[in-house]
Amino acid sequence: METTLRGVGVSHGVAIGEVRHMGTAVLEPPAEQISPGDASREQTRARQAVEAVAADLNARGRLAGGEAQAVLEAQALMAQDPELIADVERRIAVGSTAERAVYDAFASYRALLAGAGEYLAGRVADLDDVRNRIVARLLGVPMPGVPVSDEPFVLIARDLAPADTALLDPALVLAFVTEEGGPTSHSAILARALGVPAVVALRGAGEVAEGTLIAVDGGTGEVFVEPSEAKRAALTEAAAVRKAALAASSGPGATSDGHKVPLLANIGGPADVPAAVAAGAEGVGLFRTEFLFLDDSAEAPSEEKQVEAYRQVLEAFPEGRVVVRVLDAGADKPLNFLTPADEPNPALGVRGLRSLLDHPDVLRTQLRALARASEGLPVYLEVMAPMVADRQDARAFAEACREVGLAAKFGAMVEIPSAALRARSVLQEVEFLSLGTNDLAQYTFAADRQVGAVSRLQDPWQPALLDLVALSAEAAKAEGKSCGVCGEAASDPLLACVLTGLGVTSLSMGAASLPYVRATLAKYTLAQCERAAAAARATDSADEARRAAQAVLSGE
């Protein structure tokens, strides 16, 4: 009998296939004791396992490339955390086996982080995956992972670690559904990059039996269990119509009445450029530069190394716009040479621009590298700072850019509500704004973006978040400057129309989402987008906002 489940759709597309569950294993080692004479041997085993897991994560990152590489390299750094390793060795010294010491040290680390604000503890899949990989290696058992199958299937898991998501084969894994996670989790972001339909935060997904036929709609978040032939036919037809519309859609982003809305790509480095170019990106709206710094946690990359990486990206978009975000370190992206190790709440501490202003040599080197990389190129380079809170932050960043003679526009990311509320003040110092809706939602609603239990508050359709977007866009218009969106909100085609109606001047997203947004935007006039935006803001919940906008655009 057909039943419908609803989670959070995080990656567009429809897939129909049989269920396969992520393999599981009991990875809690026995609490055995060792003799004092064995401590040195066990400590060596632990260190070797840690290094092997870190090397494997780095290798997977290099294979996956782009944004996935940055995520997996961050996990490798987590495995090699000096405090964790020291804790493991202390536990071994008092009698624990290597595997038990690792297990207990990670449990203690999780408890500590939860008490410090849950920002990192919310990344359960990331943290547990690192622990499980180390313990599995020490126990000599295989890691649970994506099931082996000769036929394509729909993968169901409690959650997916980035190491699993990054290397999914789209030819075999038609879609995935998870019980945990949120719309801005690492797995959701990587699913969009792969172009695999995905639904997260679906409670009860694990109860769907192995081999059951299901249909997954990554746009609506609906999962149809044992769908009827009529339902399968309807979904297949809708998918075919959508595919045809995408194939017919090309050229610059614009509404049906010719209002231009540049559609840009979010990238993590040179490896992401080919997909962005193939999808027709008009430039880059968010170049995350962290990937280069995560290669080595001990020190910042040299200016020469940075110049080489930046120039590869800039050369790919001649006469296009490339918006570079300077290093956003801290919180979930700690760097040993830059971020404090003992902050009680890293998400609310010294991260982003705050870290760079505390280490001006790192900022100057990056800005000089960008200046050199853009020399002689016709590209329109724009550089923006993450985590700008007020005009003082914006002024400090602009002054740093001018000091190195950077010939580019200087901008500020709006990720903190204060920056949206005082956007006109911030714009007295910089030339453009870019809304990072992932963090803006997190800080507006006090809802960790990695915690599935609060995914309702991470929904970018929340009217309060739309209000902040509108405030920023209105301020930019009043100052004669631009205001784009580079957060994951821009990848939702319907929401892209609403953002356009709110006055946003450009939209940036993962390459896989560009055709969907381009085709949808081209169906409506600017006036329709404005009415949809007004209808969404007049509601009191994300679901109501989505329905109200849909009703306006469908002519109901």
Q: Which residues are catalytic?
A: 186, 486
**Token pair in block for residue 411:** 């901008």
Dihedral over Cα of 323, 326, 327, 331: its sign: negative
**Cα angle: 207, vertex 198, 9; to 5 degrees:** 95
**Cα angle: 10, vertex 521, 15; to 5 degrees:** 35
Residues paired with 253 in a beta bridge: none
Q: What number of other Cβ atoms are within 10 A of residue 382's Cβ?
A: 24
Residues paired with 175 in a beta bridge: 154
Q: Left, alpha or beta for 226 (phi > 0: left; psi -120 to 50: alpha)?
A: left
Antiparallel, parallel or unpaired: β 283-288 and 321-325 = parallel
How many Å apart are CA 299 and CA 292, to the nearest integer?
A: 11
Residues paired with 267 in a beta bridge: 287
If you write DSSP's letter for every residue of 176-193 in order, what string do you get?
EEESS--TTSHHHHHHHH
Instruction: Kindly give, in sequence order, each residue whose CB lies less than 8 Å from that of residue 217, ignoring residues fewer than 6 positions away.
Output: 9, 14, 197, 199, 223, 224, 235
Residue with tokens 């540049």: 262
φ/ψ (deg, to 5) at 359: -130, 70
**Cα angle: 193, vertex 244, 545; to 5 degrees:** 65
Q: Is 16 helix (H, G, I), strand (E, B) or coil?
A: strand
Segment holding 223, helix H or strand E: strand 222-225
DSSP annotation of 158 reads S
**Token pair in block for residue 285:** 């709206």
How many Å apart are CA 555 and CA 471, to the nearest integer?
A: 27
Strands of 346-425, DSSP E? 380-385, 409-414
CA-nearest of 292, 282, 219 to 67 is 292
How many Å apart are CA 346 and CA 127, to the nearest integer?
A: 16
Antiparallel, parallel or unpaired: β 222-225 and 213-217 = antiparallel
Q: Is 479 helix (H, G, I), strand (E, B) or coil?
A: coil
**SS3 per residue for 111-137:** HHHHHCCCCCCCCHHHHHHHHHHHHHH
